[in-house]
Structure 1
Amino acid sequence: MLVEGPYSGNRSLNSKTLTADLIVVGGGMAGICAAITAARQGLEVILVQDRPVLGGNASSEIRLWILGATSSMGNNNRWAREGGIIDEILLENQYRNPEGNALILDTILLEKVTQETNITLLLNTAVHRCEKSGANRIAAALAFCSQNSTEYRLEAPLFVDASGDGILGFLSGAAFRIGAESREEFDEAFAPEKAYGELLGHSLYFHSKDTGKPVQFIPPAFANTDLSSLPRFHTFNLHDRGCRLWWVEYGGRLDTIHATETIKWELWKIIYGIWDHIKNSGEYPEMETHTLEWVGMIPGKRESRRFEGDYMLSQRDVVEQRTHPDRVSYGGWALDLHPADGIYGELPGCTQWHAKGVYGIPFRCLYSKNIENLFLAGRIISASHVAFGSSRVMATCAHNAQAVGMAAALCKERQLLPRDLMEKELMDNLQQRLMDMGQYLPGMHLRDTDNLAKRASLSVSSTFSLQKLPADAGWKDLDSSMAQMLPLEKGRIPVFTFVVKAKKESRLVLRLLCSSLPGNFTPDRQLAEKEFAVSKGVQELAVDFGLLLDERAYYFLAFEANPTIQVAISQLRLTGLLTVFNRVNLDVAKGSRQEPPEGLGVDAFDFWLPERRPGGHNLALRCTPAVNLYRPDYLLNGLFRPTTQTNAWVADPKDPEPILTFSWPTQQKIRKILLWFDTDFDHPLESTLRGHDERVMPFCVREFQLFDEIGTLLYQEAGNHQSRYEIVFDSAVRIKKLVLQLKHPGRNIPAGLLGVGVYS
């Protein structure tokens, strides 16, 4: 028993001093990925999160789905899903939680962080002050945990601010901005003529549930039951159960940091008013049995401070896809800005303008220009208001933060500060280490000079050659233009034969398209056109464009829309092959073609979008001569997703036991093996709410075995679902041959690989 009498002074809180190599402030997706990346490189990391769960806007407290460059399959960024730790998390969530339950995602994020022995996690702990050693360096962050009534002093040589509002950057004196720059400052045609302080607002989500019996709803007194003040209230989609009403947004004309509680209350009033309208207006009888199951307690925040680095990303970087020598990440979401009035305004909820492909994000945007030991991560990175409209989304934030975590490791090893890594040799080291962990950097490849597989003789049991995609999946209506994407080499284009079925005599147009910028997947350049007279019934069409292709790239065999014609499709699914359609995805665009106003500094082009599975079949076709899409040597080229070619080896579907054999003239001492699998980087893997039909990406090899030259089993796996699979032996194995045996992932999906690494 403790009895403490009256005390005339002031008692002190319990206090602790913790030291680490790196302090990460903010436990959203950016903070998580920065912390895990640094911890896996050997750094002692303290991750400070002011909420009871991790994930920030992705957590069960807010429930926004994680997205990035894939733009929910709504733009032309093919195979653009972010790699590395964020890919690992999304694939794990897909495997355990294809229904998109935000509570399950919470557990996955907590597990990922707490499994890292180098991370000390402080939940419910808010940074409120910092101490500095000199004018330009942080010495410690001071934080308070409301749950254990403890004050922490957190000391480290390096700090990451991934807090969303930039609390540590603000307290430390880092240069920042709030609001929109003028059009003139960065030559941004999408920016306003004069700078202003209007911002993107907050959103609050809710869930409803069908109870199977009538449910009454009596609104609280604070609810806004007069929806006449909400111009967009009539656009409810009841199927979404409320959580995709992202446009229930407010606060852009207020201080989105210090007025957050005021904004939250206004959003509560709106949400409960919306539910009252749904339940009690009589306009939605199908909702009689529904109850309001959950309403967010804190709003999802879009914009507040943006901090200044040595470079500020701008509209032209995004639209022109500028190449930066210090690129360590990439983005691909639209320039997505929202009107400041939010739900109370007459304007559309957002204005989105897409680039023709992904754009690189330079390292200079990821550290403070004046606080020399402060990294920037998440939505606060160094970007203009317009560019922020793209870089602010969670998967992009997470991808940037992985670069920060790796940069912190390099700084620790070399006793450097963030800006020092701009030296050419150090930047190259950082980029190579990022790619080794699965981080894709546009236009770059992993050199992987230590890979013993590059010194081996490689043989395979078979390699798929595209002669035919069988017509065994039925017919696809040409209700919109449809294209088969094929990677083709320089030289004469093959003759292609398709099967079509017409309801009546008609004309059918087939075009050969490609991108004007290598590596993009926007087919804005027409190379050839053929028109065919089609008779009623089923027939074959042989297409000889008679062209010599001048570069290796993805080409689009595009059928013009014709509602009287169907094309035969195939069940065979192959790494790096897609069909796309000239359609609109209303989540991220307003039409099947982007038509910006003149002078906006944004390109006009068509959207060619894939279908989500179980749709998205390849066209049935024959190629004469056969097209060699896959090669064993692609496994060693340091590219682990389709770019201008598949970058994959795929076995023949008829090969019962696909085998790769690496042989060395002398015995090798092997400690680690890396395998890179195809987890369909074109699929966006939205983390919550949307739901998915698959737990494992269909192209991913789940079962494999490793043997030595005498048939000794070295390793086996029966349930893989990840892109990057690392095998580390407890003690090195001595072998002259490494035999990798794969199992086909599906009856119509042959086994394939994107990369192999073998290390001593």
Structure 2
Amino acid sequence: MRHVTQSYDIVVCGGGLAGFTAAVSAARMGQRVCLVQDRPVLGGNSSSEVRVVPRGSTTYHAYAREGGVLSELMVGERMKNHEPIFENGWANSVWDLSLYDLAQRTENLTLLMNTAVCDVTVTDGRIASVTGWTMSAETETELRAEVFLDCTGDAVVAALAGCEFRTGEEARAEFGEPHAPLEASEDTMGNSIHFKTKDVGHPVDFELPEWAVEYTDPDFFYKQGRVPRDVRGGFWWIELGKPWNTIYDAEEIRHELTRHTLGVWDWMKNKDPQTRNAAKNLALDWLGQVPGKRESRRIMGLHLLTEGDFFRDEPFEDEIAYGGWNIDLHTPGGLLASTSEPTAAAGYDLHSKESVTAYVGPFGIPLRSLVAKDVTNLLMAGRNVSATHVGLGSVRVQATTAIMGQAAGTAAAVALKNGVSVQQVATIAIHDVQQQLLKDGCFLPNVVNADERDRARTATITASSEAVNLGAAPGDRWIDGGLRENVRHSGEYLSALRAQWIPVETGPDAPGLRTVSVLLRNHSDTAVEIPARLQQADHIWDYRVDTNMVLDDTTLVVEPGEHWVTWDVRVDPGSLVRTAPGGQYVRVDLAAEPAVEWLRAGRILPGAVSAFEMSPGRLRRFGDGVTMSHRITPAQRAYPPVGVISGTARPHRATNEWRSDPGHPFDQWIQLDWDEPQDISTVHVTFAGHLLREYDHTPALWRDPQTVRDYTIRAWSGERWTDILVVEGNGFPRRVHHLVDVISSTAIRLVVHATNGDPSAAVYEIRCY
């Protein structure tokens, strides 16, 4: 056996998505980072060993997809991978290679693979080193650093360091959490393995091994929330935990999961009359042998995230990430329990008590929940963050843990750069952390760009043309490149109150709003009256039915048949409270009327989504983020050039987007002008795209049509434009260009020659340094 010692600035333990994004972000900030991973591949539960698709806030909220390093990975993998993502079990090694490739291209980052942390040394209240064992190399490595990150999932580093941690469920009375049980227990959510099948083109048999579990009762599946919706594979509900311990009994759980998974496949393949025919040509192609774990230890930090934090009125001052997944608490015991996860057991009814009470977000996550309280130089990210069992139920999903990881890595780098402890960063250096995260492509709901070094913030912005908002209709064409939509909950009947967000122009030159028309189809034989209301909305996730900012209300009369019904609203510009540069949202709400359809538009108007009333007073996104047919007068300059310096690089309080007029041919350009010459060495550009739908809804070899493909950055020399950068074949929404030479200029112009399919050039943000 060999023993070696290595020293770094930061050591990140755990190479899942949280640890990976933490390590990459810290290394990009100039810190010497070692990433320790106990598996041969990176990505943790998302890797080809486990194959859980990274999901997060976009499953429930439009334009909420996570950014930063994770976005870079997801976008890049889809452009390269020839295989579609159907469900859990469908990830392949192209995803593994995407992570490995990015790690190899990251300066200052060292990988230590197949290495398990087995010891931690603590001196004077701080971690001095961790020791890892690489069995394949018979090497013990002592890793010394100034800051350590525990992203191991099971909180191995914190436990070995003697930090306080929690396991199991807290009692409801301890923190007043409605989702907590009345009495505390050691129960945790379980582990899962997944499988994948292949259509071989002809019937193929499957024989259940004698040592596997045989299923014969259809009620176990169809009355207990384990419906096999698609026989090709996946199935998160193949899950076991209680009565086993998810850490110490991991191997027994793995074996039991294998027995049960084969039994589930046998049921669908050979016994279930509802699935047998669909499965006859399917052969078992892959069955995982590394269980995906949901919950074990949770390290106690400077703040304990609870259910109440999902609904707090005031944002956290140390907000560094956001969540938006529902409170997803799987029933302890999994397959051994009487029912599956509550919303599944309720049949995914979006109006059920289970769905209504579990629906949360987007909500901010504080840095203090990522800082350990018992040692002075430990941060954490992933499912071991400082949260109650209920709090973990929402933030444990991989896309959320990945942006928490980037925040933890960024905070560690800022602490070292500023010469403060990680326990001080959340108070005395939080501005630096937040601004760095925004600069690196992350989104924070309650923080905007305030980077004094960003020269673009002081520029005057003009463009060759700009799109106007007149609404959208069923005949409109939308180029989506095959973006997949979940149509399970997409009925257009007004079975509940329906709301449509409308981006409008604000400011001294705004034209106001005169009329709103909606396209309705009355299926009854008599005229129907529908109460309607026009309100201002704070942002696209303002899910209050009553925003307390009513602009007008009326009753729409809908005759039998299909009609555009027009409403004279007469909203003056002064009636709107300006909350974002160049724009604002108003919302049209139509009351429930089951006999009437509100027809969907043929395209998704950028930034204009819809919702329905899921429970009294509360809305939820309609479908996967769609636009209902509506028209407005006069035309609204809702996509102005100034949107690229609004401080927010996605639709939120306004569209925060410049779009060129789709009727004008390329080239189209957007320009930044200054009164005095500016020295510029780096240009950041964030193009539109990749935010509306989840990663697993995007096809193989996919590029978002909204994203700019070919472009040139030009500088004004005083007499003419000079090309300083030419890019062709782009598919990434965010590009950072370090110029070969520093330029001094009074104007920069971004010229768009082509997109990946959209007729408009669209940019969310430009930064200049």
Q: Same fold (TM over 0.5)?
A: yes
Cα RMSD between the aligned structures?
2.9
The residue aligned with 1:638 is 647
Would you say the 8 A contact 1:356–1:521 is kept in 2? no
- 2:303 aligned with 1:311: yes
The residue aligned with 1:705 is 712
> Unaligned regions of 5+ residues in structure 1, if any?
1-12, 583-591, 596-603
CA distance in 2, matches of 1:473, 1:360: 36
User: Which deviates more from structure 2 when the two are superposed, residues 674-683 or residues 344-353?
Assistant: 344-353
The residue aligned with 1:692 is 699
Amino acid at match of 1:163: T
CA distance in 2, matches of 1:62, 1:724: 29
- 2:567 aligned with 1:543: yes
Would you say the 8 A contact 1:671–1:732 is kept in 2? yes
Amino acid at match of 1:531: T
Structure 2 vs 1, CA of residues 750 and 517 (structure 1 numbering), >3 Å: closer, same or farther?
A: closer
**Is the partner of 1:675 in helix, strand or coil?**
strand
Would you say the 8 A contact 1:508–1:560 is kept in 2? no
- 2:478 aligned with 1:496: no
- Deviation string 1:441-480 (CA, Å, 9 cap, x unpaired) is 1111011222223344432222222245466339998434
Deviation at 1:258, TM superposition (A): 0.4
- 2:63 aligned with 1:79: yes
**Is the partner of 1:673 in helix, strand or coil?**
strand
Deviation at 1:268, TM superposition (A): 1.0
Residue of 742, 748, 767 corresponding to 1:757 = 767
The residue aligned with 2:346 is none
Amino acid at match of 1:323: P
CA distance in 2, matches of 1:740, 1:701: 11
Residue of 511, 536, 540 corresponding to 2:532 = 511
Would you say the 8 A contact 2:318–2:427 is kept in 1? no
Would you say the 8 A contact 1:311–1:382 is kept in 2? yes
Residue of 362, 367, 371 corresponding to 2:366 = 362
**Is the partner of 1:67 in helix, strand or coil?**
coil
The residue aligned with 2:481 is none
- Deviation string 1:280-324 (CA, Å, 9 cap, x unpaired) is 337313323221111110111101000100110111101235411
Structure 2 vs 1, CA of residues 244 and 514 (structure 1 numbering), >3 Å: closer, same or farther?
A: farther
The residue aligned with 1:738 is 748
- Deviation string 1:569-628 (CA, Å, 9 cap, x unpaired) is 6556543223x353xxxxxxxxx7258xxxxxxxx734232446xxx455252x222222
User: Which deviates more from structure 2 when the two are superposed, residues 183-192 or residues 429-438?
Assistant: 183-192
Structure 2 vs 1, CA of residues 646 and 363 (structure 1 numbering), >3 Å: closer, same or farther?
A: same
Would you say the 8 A contact 1:333–1:391 is kept in 2? yes
Residue of 455, 458, 466 corresponding to 1:463 = 466
**Is the partner of 2:173 in helix, strand or coil?**
coil
CA distance in 2, matches of 1:182, 1:498: 49
- 2:387 aligned with 1:383: yes
Would you say the 8 A contact 2:238–2:334 is kept in 1? yes
CA distance in 2, matches of 1:323, 1:477: 35
CA distance in 2, matches of 1:447, 1:108: 32
Deviation at 1:645, TM superposition (A): 0.9
The residue aligned with 1:531 is 555
The residue aligned with 1:325 is 317
CA distance in 1, matches of 2:132, 2:756: 52
Structure 2 vs 1, CA of residues 95 and 530 (structure 1 numbering), >3 Å: closer, same or farther?
A: farther
CA distance in 1, matches of 2:516, 2:756: 26
Would you say the 8 A contact 1:314–1:386 is kept in 2? yes
Amino acid at match of 2:110: T
**Is the partner of 2:251 in helix, strand or coil?**
helix
The residue aligned with 2:72 is 88
Deviation at 1:536, TM superposition (A): 4.8
The residue aligned with 1:53 is 41
User: Which deviates more from structure 2 when the two are superposed, residues 636-645 or residues 484-493?
Assistant: 484-493
Would you say the 8 A contact 1:252–1:339 is kept in 2? no
Would you say the 8 A contact 1:477–1:563 is kept in 2? no
Structure 2 vs 1, CA of residues 455 and 226 (structure 1 numbering), >3 Å: closer, same or farther?
A: closer
**Is the partner of 1:702 in helix, strand or coil?**
strand
**Is the partner of 2:335 in helix, strand or coil?**
helix
- 2:503 aligned with 1:521: no
Residue of 99, 123, 135 corresponding to 2:84 = 99
Amino acid at match of 2:639: Y
CA distance in 2, matches of 1:610, 1:478: 9
Deviation at 1:497, TM superposition (A): 2.9
- Deviation string 1:130-176 (CA, Å, 9 cap, x unpaired) is 12223x21111111112222221111111100001011111111110
Deviation at 1:85, TM superposition (A): 1.0
User: Which deviates more from structure 2 when the two are superposed, residues 701-710 or residues 740-749?
Assistant: 740-749
Would you say the 8 A contact 1:470–1:620 is kept in 2? yes
- 2:404 aligned with 1:400: yes
Amino acid at match of 2:65: R
Would you say the 8 A contact 2:472–2:605 is kept in 1? no
Structure 2 vs 1, CA of residues 440 and 321 (structure 1 numbering), >3 Å: closer, same or farther?
A: farther
Deviation at 1:362, TM superposition (A): 1.0
Amino acid at match of 1:132: V
- 2:202 aligned with 1:213: yes
User: Which deviates more from structure 2 when the two are superposed, residues 86-95 or residues 348-357?
Assistant: 348-357
Would you say the 8 A contact 2:25–2:406 is kept in 1? yes
Structure 2 vs 1, CA of residues 515 and 498 (structure 1 numbering), >3 Å: closer, same or farther?
A: closer
CA distance in 1, matches of 2:762, 2:653: 18
Identity %: 29
Amino acid at match of 1:409: A
CA distance in 2, matches of 1:269, 1:163: 27
- Deviation string 1:220-277 (CA, Å, 9 cap, x unpaired) is 2320114449823777665634543111111133211101111111111111112222
User: Which deviates more from structure 2 when the two are superposed, residues 662-671 or residues 391-400?
Assistant: 662-671
Would you say the 8 A contact 1:670–1:733 is kept in 2? yes
Would you say the 8 A contact 1:199–1:253 is kept in 2? no
Structure 2 vs 1, CA of residues 477 and 333 (structure 1 numbering), >3 Å: closer, same or farther?
A: closer
Would you say the 8 A contact 1:307–1:382 is kept in 2? yes
Would you say the 8 A contact 1:227–1:233 is kept in 2? no
Amino acid at match of 2:179: F
Deviation at 1:744, TM superposition (A): 5.5
Would you say the 8 A contact 1:164–1:378 is kept in 2? yes
- 2:7 aligned with 1:19: yes
Q: TM-score if structure 2 supplies the norm length?
A: 0.87
Structure 2 vs 1, CA of residues 116 and 739 (structure 1 numbering), >3 Å: closer, same or farther?
A: same
> Unaligned regions of 5+ residues in structure 2, if any?
86-90, 344-354, 479-489, 579-583
- Deviation string 1:540-591 (CA, Å, 9 cap, x unpaired) is 322123556453553332445667656666556543223x353xxxxxxxxx
CA distance in 2, matches of 1:474, 1:646: 20
CA distance in 2, matches of 1:48, 1:91: 25
What number of residue pairs does the alignment pair up?
716
Residue of 94, 99, 111 corresponding to 1:109 = 99
Q: TM-score if structure 1 supplies the norm length?
A: 0.88
Would you say the 8 A contact 2:522–2:528 is kept in 1? no
Would you say the 8 A contact 1:484–1:558 is kept in 2? yes
The residue aligned with 1:348 is 340
Structure 2 vs 1, CA of residues 514 and 342 (structure 1 numbering), >3 Å: closer, same or farther?
A: farther
Structure 2 vs 1, CA of residues 637 and 533 (structure 1 numbering), >3 Å: closer, same or farther?
A: closer
User: Which deviates more from structure 2 when the two are superposed, residues 391-400 or residues 86-95?
Assistant: 86-95
CA distance in 2, matches of 1:276, 1:370: 49
- 2:295 aligned with 1:294: no
Amino acid at match of 1:745: T
CA distance in 1, matches of 2:222, 2:336: 10
CA distance in 2, matches of 1:282, 1:507: 45
Amino acid at match of 1:633: V
Structure 2 vs 1, CA of residues 456 and 517 (structure 1 numbering), >3 Å: closer, same or farther?
A: closer
Amino acid at match of 2:131: L
Q: Please list, as runs of the form range in 1=range in 2, the aligned pairs for 1:115-130 lying within 5 A after superposition.
A: 115-130=105-120
The residue aligned with 1:421 is 425
CA distance in 2, matches of 1:509, 1:566: 12
Structure 2 vs 1, CA of residues 727 and 567 (structure 1 numbering), >3 Å: closer, same or farther?
A: same
CA distance in 2, matches of 1:194, 1:446: 45
CA distance in 2, matches of 1:225, 1:538: 54
**Is the partner of 1:442 in helix, strand or coil?**
coil
